[in-house]
Amino acid sequence: MKIVVCYDIVENRKRQKVIDILERYGFVRVQKSVFLGDIRIRKVRELLFELSGVIDLEKDALCILNICEKCYGKGIFISRNMNYKMIEEEFFII
C-alpha cells in the first residue's frame, strides 16, 4: 500500500528519530516533513507502534494517509529527492 506520512514535531531529537524510523522502513523524503512509502499492512502496524513511542501527543502531530494505486498513479511528484518517469509532457510518476 502507498503511504504518505507528514508530521509537525517540535523537538529536533524526536524529529530525527521519526526520520530514521521512516527511512528504515524504506520511506522517501519528498519534503522536509513529508515522506512517501510503499509498505505492507502488517508493517504499518509495526511502524505505528514505533512512531507512537517517539512522538509527544501533547505537542506533536503525525498524519499517515493510505493512497490507493489508482489515485497514486494520477499523482504529480516534483522533488529533487525522487526519480521520475515521464508519462506525458506535464505528468510525472515514480
Single-letter residue type at 67: I
Question: What are the two backbone dihedrals, phi and then psi, of residue 83, each rounded to the nearest 5 degrees?
Answer: -95, 140
pLDDT in tens, 63-92: 999 988 888 777 776 656 555 544 444 444
Half-sphere exposure of 80 (CA within 13 A, CB side): 1
| pLDDT bracket for residue 1 (50, 70, 90) | confident
Q: What is the pTM of this model?
A: 0.78
pLDDT at position 72: 78
pLDDT in tens, 11-69: 999 999 999 999 999 999 988 999 999 999 889 899 999 999 999 989 999 999 998 88
Residue 64, helix vs strand vs coil: strand
Spatial separation of the C-alpha atoms in residues 18 and 24, rounded to whole Å: 10
Closest of 55, 8, 4 to residue 30, by C-alpha = 4
